[in-house]
Amino acid sequence: MMSKNTPYQAGKVSIGLRYKRPPPPLTQDEERIQNILLGSKPSIFSELKATIKFIVGILIFLAIILFLNGAKSV
């Protein structure tokens, strides 16, 4: 019978024999997918935050387009 190599052997006690690393934290996308699959509604704050990020991204994109069009006409 094979046994796992434990980091510490203290006589009869095997320290760390059943240790499992915790899973990494969920990303925002993973949380959103999990909430959709579980059927739970997202909080108003998270939806507002996502909407604000989207609007800011669009405004930055439009500002870049306007800047580039203004630079060409000079």
Residue pLDDT, tens place only, 6-56:
566 677 777 777 888 889 999 988 988 888 898 887 677 877 888 899 999
What single letter denotes the amino acid at residue 26? L
pTM here is: 0.43
Phi-psi region of 8 (alpha: psi -120 to 50; beta: other; left: phi over 0): beta
Which run of H or of E encompasses 29? helix 28-38
Q: For the chain, what are the domain ranges?
A: 42-74
The encoded tokens of residue 22 equal 């915790």
